Amino acid sequence: MVLRNHPRGRLAFDRDAIVRAALRAYVEARVERLGCGLAYPVCDYSEWTGDVHRGALRTDSGCGDYEVVAWTEAGVVGLAYEKGFGPIDNLGLTPDTVTGGPEDVRPAVPGLPSELEPAFQLAVGKLDTVSDLYKGKLPNKRMYSELLAGVGFWLHGDRVAGTLFDDPKCPGAKRLVPWGMLQNGRLPFYVIGELAPLAAERARTVEAPIHAIIDAVVDRRLQGPTEFTPDEIATLLVKPPDPKQLLGVQRLLQKVGITWPGSPELPPEPPLPRPLINPFTGKPYSEPEIERLMKRNA
């Protein structure tokens, strides 16, 4: 564990605790969609890549802000984006110097050890890219692409650094701070804002059995692939969920090595029709956008 002072408090970073909290947040969000009575998951929108040894979790606000934490055996890299504050606005790059690739966001993690390059690439792979036509005073008027993150941190052994500490009040920093404020291996409820006191009270009282199941399943999964027990399923599925919703949750939990009792084989996921039109723009979704929609709507 590495301790650092920060304007938002005393932060403690631990690789194993971060991986557990990431897995728990992902599982909690899937369990909530079973209609079991869990009202306030800490991460409504989350995407998982890899496994508990080498992987990444992206969580979104639903309003354009997001963060990614990625890990390997060597440590952790975290990157965050607050809408409107990417490398051009936050990291000193210009439309002529951004490439839409990893080098756009490397300034967010200065001094990154070479051992963390795989984790950095995992994190970068979960970031969004925006393209626009530069209309400023520079002579080059061409289109440019910008990979979107404006702040970051890295954790390796007993060292932790990054713009989260160099510029602790910069836009996006508040999305990374909770990873240094974990409570019993889970993200703090304050990440959900003004509803945090109500969420904490429900977790202590009416939702306590559900959270106990989530903790037990997550701890078992950290030791290897696992299943829900029949008793756990009986507690979670007091009301039978919509079959389509249940299947979607099963698929997403299977992705992280958690299955239903007996590890039943799931039917293949049917492809979405192409082209799939964005109702807001009238234009077809790209394949990465379709993949992300499927994950969020499951």
* DSSP class per residue in 200-252: HHHHHTTTHHHHHHHHHHHHHHHHS-EE--HHHHHHHTSSPPPHHHHHHHHHH
Contact in structure between 258 and 221 (CB atoms under 8 Å): yes
Taking each helix axis as running N to C, give the angle between helix 196-204 and helix 208-223, from 0 to 180 degrees, rounded to the nearest 10. 80
Q: What is the DSSP letter of 284?
A: B
Q: What is the DSSP letter of 40?
A: -
Whether the pLDDT of residue 286 is over 60: the answer is yes
The identity of residue 40, as a single letter, is: Y
Average pLDDT for 34-47: 88
Average pLDDT for 32-46: 88
Q: What's residue 141's pLDDT? A: 58
Q: What's residue 24's pLDDT? A: 96
pLDDT confidence band for 142 (50 / 70 / 90): low
Q: What's residue 253's pLDDT? A: 94
Return the number of other C-beta atoms located less than 10 Å from residue 28's C-beta: 23
Return the number of other C-beta atoms located less than 10 Å from residue 116's C-beta: 22
Looking at the DSSP assignment, which residues form a beta bridge with residue 71?
55, 76
Whether the ω angle into residue 275 lies within 30 degrees of 0, i.e. cis, is yes
Rg (CA), the chain: 20
pLDDT confidence band for 195 (50 / 70 / 90): confident
- Write down the pTM of the prediction: 0.87
Average pLDDT for 104-109: 96
Whether the pLDDT of residue 35 is over 60: the answer is yes
Q: What's residue 99's pLDDT? A: 87
Q: Which two tokens stand for residue 266?
A: 């799931």
Q: What's residue 213's pLDDT? A: 97
Distance CA 102, CA 196 (A): 35
Q: Mean pLDDT of all residues in the chain? A: 89
211-263 tens-digit pLDDT:
999 999 999 999 999 999 999 999 999 888 888 899 999 999 999 999 998 87
Contact in structure between 146 and 130 (CB atoms under 8 Å): yes
Average the pLDDT over each of 21-30, 34-43, 109-118 and give the range with the smallest value.
34-43
How far are the Cα atoms of 10, 228, 233, 250, 255 from residue 261, in angstroms, in the given order?
41, 6, 8, 11, 15
Q: What's residue 14's pLDDT? A: 96
Average pLDDT for 266-288: 78
Q: What's residue 294's pLDDT? A: 65
pLDDT confidence band for 266 (50 / 70 / 90): confident
Question: In the chain, which ranges are continuous DSSP H helix?
Answer: 15-32, 87-90, 117-124, 163-166, 173-176, 196-204, 208-223, 230-236, 243-255, 287-297
Q: What's residue 296's pLDDT? A: 53
Distance CA 80, CA 213 (A): 30
Average the pLDDT over each of 29-33, 136-140, 143-147 and give the range with the smallest value.
136-140
pLDDT confidence band for 136 (50 / 70 / 90): low
Contact in structure between 148 and 86 (CB atoms under 8 Å): yes
Q: Which two tokens stand for residue 80?
A: 């965050």
Q: What's residue 221's pLDDT? A: 96
Average pLDDT for 171-179: 94
50-96 tens-digit pLDDT:
999 999 999 998 888 999 999 999 999 999 999 989 998 889 888 88
Contact in structure between 28 and 218 (CB atoms under 8 Å): no
